[in-house]
Amino acid sequence: MAEKLDINIDEKINLAHGDGGVDTQGLIRNLFYQYFDEPLSNSMPDSFVFEAGQHKLAFTTDSFVVKPLFFRGGNIGKLAVCGTINDLATAGARPLFLSAGFIIEEGFSMEKLHLIAKSMSDICQETGAKIVTGDTKVVERGNVDGLFINTSGIGIVSDNYHPQQAEPGDEIIITGGIGEHGTSILLARYDLGMETKLTSDCAPMSFLINGLGEHLKHVKLMKDPTRGGIATSLNEIAAEQALEVELNEKAIPVKSEVDAIGDILGIDPLYLASEGRMLIVAEKGWGEKMLHQIKALDYCGEAQIIGRFTSGHQGMVSMKTLIGGKRIVPILEGQMLPRIC
Amino acid sequence: MIQEMIQEMNDQSIIEPIIERLNRVFEDISGLSGQSMRIMEVCGTHTRAIAKSGIRYLLPQEILLLSGPGCPVCVTPEYYIDIMISIADREDVILVTFGDMMKVQGTCFSLSDKKAQGAQITVVYSPEDALNIAAHHRDKLVVFVAVGFETTAPLIGVTVKQAKAGGLDNLFFLTALKRMEPVIRFILQDERNKINAMICPGHVASITGAEHFRFITEEFGIPAVVCGFESQDIAAGICRLLEQLTGKRDKKFVNLYQRCVTPNGNPIAQQMINEVFDIADGEWRGIGTIRNSALVLNDQYRYLDAVKRFEIKNEQYSSPLNCLCSEILLGLKLPKECRLFGSICTPEHPSGPCMVSSEGACAAHFKFGGDGKNG
| Interfacial B residues in 165-224 facing A (CB < 8 Å) | 203
Residue A82's φ and ψ, nearest 5 degrees, are -60, -40
- Specify which residues B123 forms β-bridges with: B97
B79 burial via Cβ count (<10 Å: 0-12, 13-18, 19+): middle
**Residue B155 confidence (pLDDT) above 70:** yes
Cα separations (Å) of B66 from B27, B39, B70, B235, B240? 22, 6, 12, 15, 17
User: Which of B148, B347, B359 is closest, CB to CB, to A333?
Assistant: B347
Q: Of the candidates B52, B59, B113, B60, which has an alpha carbon nearest to the alpha carbon of residue B82? A: B113
**What are the percentages of helix, strand and coil residues in chain A, rounded to 5?**
35, 25, 40
- Give the nearest partner residue to A340 out of B7, B19, B147, using CB atoms: B147
CB B98 within 8 A of CB B145: yes
How confident is the model at residue A9, as a pLDDT?
74
The CA distance from A269 to A278, in Å, is 15
Q: Which residues make beta-bridge pairs with B110?
A: B105
Q: What is the pLDDT of residue B373?
A: 43
pLDDT of residue A3: 41
Distance CA A117, CA B291 (A): 62
Q: Is B96 helix (H, G, I), strand (E, B) or coil?
A: strand
> Is residue B152 pLDDT above 60, yes or no?
yes
Question: Which of B52, B56, B115 is most worth mutating to test chain A (most A CB atoms within 10 A of its CB)?
Answer: B52
pLDDT band at A150 (very low <50, low <70, confident <90, very high): very high
User: Are A341 and B151 a contacting pair at CB < 8 A?
Assistant: yes
CA distances from B187 to A204, A317, B169, B182, B220 (A): 55, 36, 41, 9, 11
**B346 has a chain A CB within 8 A of its CB:** yes
- Amino acid residing at A212: L
In chain B, residues with a C-beta closer than 8 Å to the C-beta of A326 are 54, 57, 372
SS3 A307: strand
The arithmetic mean of pLDDT across residues A279-302, rounded, is 96
**Which position has the higher pLDDT, B356 or A168?**
A168
For the cut 60, the answer to whether the pLDDT of residue B3 exceeds it is: no
For chain B, what percent of residues have pLDDT higher than 70? 91
Helix%, strand%, coil% for chain B, nearest 5: 45, 20, 35
Q: Is the pLDDT of residue B103 over 90?
A: no
Separation in Å, CA of A80 to nearest CA in chain B? 26
Between A84 and A26, whose confidence is greater? A84
* Pairwise CA distance, residues A337 & A200, whole Å: 20
When the pLDDT of each residue in chain A is averaged and rounded to a whole number, the result is 90
B45 CB neighbours in chain A (<8 A) are: 341
Per-residue confidence at B279, pLDDT binned at 50, 70, 90? Answer: very high
The answer to whether A178 contacts chain B (CB < 8 Å) is: no
Average pLDDT over residues B181-188: 96
Cα of A48 to nearest chain B Cα, Å: 31
Asked if A277 contacts A229 with a C-beta cutoff of 8 angstroms, the reply is no
Question: Kind and range of the H or E element at A182?
Answer: helix A180-190
Longest Cα–Cα distance of chain A, Å, equals: 59
User: Looking at residue B211, what is its pLDDT?
Assistant: 97
pLDDT in tens, A116-134: 999 999 999 999 999 999 9
Which stretch of DSSP H or E encloses residue B143?
strand B141-148
Looking at A151-155, A191-195, A199-203, B350-354, which range is the least confident one?
Answer: A191-195
* Cis preceding linkage at A204, omega within 30: no
Query: Which whole number is the average pLDDT over B36-63?
Result: 90
Residues of chain B contacting A13 with CB distance shorter than 8 Å: 116
Which parts of A118-262 are beta strand (E)? 130-139, 147-157, 171-174, 219-223, 244-248
pLDDT tier at B186, thresholds 50, 70, 90: very high
What ipTM describes this predicted complex?
A: 0.74
A4 interface with B at CB cutoff 8 Å: no
Rounded Cα distance between A74 and A149, Å, is 14
Strand ranges (E), chain A: 48-52, 55-64, 70-71, 74-75, 93-105, 130-139, 147-157, 171-174, 219-223, 244-248, 279-282, 304-310, 317-320, 326-328
Three-class secondary structure of residue B141 per DSSP: strand
Q: Is B151 on the interface with A (CB under 8 A)?
A: yes
One DSSP character per residue, B230-281 reads: SHHHHHHHHHHHHHHHTTSS---EEE--TTT--SS--HHHHHHHHHHEEEEE
pLDDT higher than 50, residue A44: yes
**What pLDDT is stored for residue A83 in this prediction?**
96
Sheet holding A147-157, edge to edge: A48-52, A55-64, A147-157, A93-105, A130-139
Q: What is the pLDDT of residues B305-357, one digit of tens each?
A: 999 999 987 665 556 677 888 889 899 999 989 999 988 888 877 888 788 88
Per-residue pLDDT, averaged over B40-67, amounts to 90
Contacts of B103 in chain A (CB under 8 A): 334, 337
Whole-Å CA distances, A201 to A83, A87, A182: 12, 16, 9
Confidence of residue B2 (pLDDT cuts 50, 70, 90): very low
* % pLDDT > 70, chain A: 92
Mean per-residue pLDDT of chain B = 88
Q: What confidence score (pLDDT) does residue B4 get?
A: 55
Q: Does A36 score more than 80 pLDDT?
A: yes
DSSP state of B9: H
Query: Which of the residue ranges B7-11, B55-59, B80-84, B198-202 would you say has the lowest mean pLDDT?
Result: B7-11
Radius of gyration of chain B (CA): 21
Q: What is the pTM of this model?
A: 0.82
Which value, in Å, is the radius of gyration of the alpha carbons in chain A?
A: 20
The pLDDT of residue A61 is 94
Per-residue burial over B288-323, b = 16 or more CB atoms within 10 Å of its CB, e = otherwise? eebeebbbbbeeebeebbbbebbeeeeeeebeebeb
User: Is B96's Cβ below 8 Å from some Cβ in A?
Assistant: no
Lowest-pLDDT choice from A98-107, A295-304, A319-328: A319-328
Q: Does A334 touch chain B (CB under 8 A)?
A: yes
Least confident of A197-201, A307-311, B8-12, B346-350: B8-12
Higher pLDDT, A191 or B167: B167
Distance of CA B46 to the CA centre of its chain: 9
For the beta sheet containing B224-226, the strands, ordered from the edge strand earlier in sequence to the opposite edge, are B63-70, B37-43, B197-200, B224-226, B253-255
Which pLDDT score, from 0 to 100, does residue A64 have? Answer: 93
Nearest chain B CA: its distance from A234 CA (Å): 15
| Other Cβ atoms within 10 Å of B221 Cβ, number | 9
Using CA coordinates, name the residue in chain A closest to B116. Answer: A14
